[in-house]
Amino acid sequence: MTTELMRYEGHRFLLYKKWDYAPNGRTPEQTKALEAGKALFKAANFEHWASQPELVARVQKFLVESVPSYRASPYGDRPGDIIKALCWEVRNEAVVIVRAKPEYIAHDGFVPKREFDYAAYKRDQDERGRAYMARSKAYSDDLKAYNKAIDDRIRREANALKPYRHIETVTEAGERNLAAWAKCDALAALASAASMVASSLPSRDDDVFDLGEVSEIGSGSTPLGDAAPFEYVKNATSNDVMSIAARGVSESHEAECFAEYETDLELCNFAGALYNDPRTYAMCKQRAFSNYQACRGY
């Protein structure tokens, strides 16, 4: 009886009883096939053989049908014991392993070794690469969206927890003062133009107030600005310094407050000259002084 043991490296190895394989003498080819079977058995990993259920089943069937001394256990044999029984018979030369020729087993589904198809391999590799790049891009986009959502949430929570307060810098304060002076200059130019137009027109009321020549703010006095303006003195006395320290303001802050107060006074002068209303002028000066005191911490 002949039973297939395995297929290895494009060849098929068969199990024979010793007297069933070439009983009338062996040809060189048969001897070579027998030597190949011995080499396979010598280099075999029997634990690997025992781990293959189909191989173990074929070996057990061969032992039951071809070796009278083998008796299968009614409770089932372990794969390792079946392989050991085969090894015992091969070592005693009761069973031989033979490498079969391809022509001999062509009817049994043997397929010669397939040639390597480089074009198919290249197509497969390209397809795998494209699939990998598509998956990688999708994962990268998902990760970016996730990180952006986390950053936005952290930013929103941080802004909600702490109030935002802008502290004016020295540069911003200077720009604000320059803008205020530019606005005052523009208003002064407008008032001068209005005064020239009013002077050129004939007046029917002798009591109409004449604006006269309105000069640039800060360069001279106006009809309602004869009072001496406040002037900030850098060399303050020790009492002034102690007062500033007690109110919690610095000298630079005190100077800024005074500069704003002067600007407010100039605007009051212009408003009084423009509207010719002493009451409006007085209220404007009072409001400017109140703002000045509040700025200084009083």
pLDDT at residue 247, rounded to an integer: 56
pLDDT at residue 170, rounded to an integer: 65
Residue with tokens 């990180």: 147
pLDDT at residue 104, rounded to an integer: 47
Supply the mean pLDDT for the chain.
75
pLDDT at residue 239, rounded to an integer: 53
pLDDT at residue 284, rounded to an integer: 86
pTM of the model: 0.34
Please say if the pLDDT value at position 272 is more than 80.
no
pLDDT at residue 233, rounded to an integer: 53
* Over residues 33-44, mean pLDDT: 89
The string of pLDDT tens digits covering residues 142-171 is 999 999 999 998 888 877 766 555 555 667
pLDDT at residue 148, rounded to an integer: 92
SS3 for the chain, per residue?
CEEEEEEECCEEEEEEEHHHCCCCCCCHHHHHHHHHHHHHHHCCCHHHHHCCHHHHHHHHHHHHHHCCCCCCCCCCCCHHHHHHHHHHHHHCCCEEEEECCCCCCHHHCCCCCCCCCHHHHHHHHHHHHHHHHHHHHHHHHHHHHHHHHHHHHHHHHHHHHCCCCCCCCHHHHHHHHHHHHHHHHHHHHHHHHHHHHHHHCCCCCCCCCCCCCCCCCCCCCCCCCCCCCCCCCCCCCHHHHHHHHHHCCCHHHHHHHHHHHHHHHHHHHHHHHHHCCHHHHHHHHHHHHHHHHHHHCC
The string of pLDDT tens digits covering residues 102-126 is 544 444 444 455 677 888 889 989 9
The angle, 0 to 180 degrees and rounded to 10, between the axes of the packed helices 170-200 and 251-275 is: 20
Please say if the pLDDT value at position 209 is more than 60.
no
The string of pLDDT tens digits covering residues 220-264 is 555 545 555 555 555 544 455 555 554 556 777 788 888 888 888
Please say if the pLDDT value at position 7 is more than 70.
yes
pLDDT at residue 208, rounded to an integer: 47
pLDDT at residue 102, rounded to an integer: 59
pLDDT at residue 275, rounded to an integer: 76
The string of pLDDT tens digits covering residues 60-109 is 988 888 888 887 776 667 888 899 989 998 898 889 999 887 544 444 44
pLDDT at residue 193, rounded to an integer: 56
Please say if the pLDDT value at position 201 is more than 70.
no
Please say if the pLDDT value at position 59 is more than 50.
yes
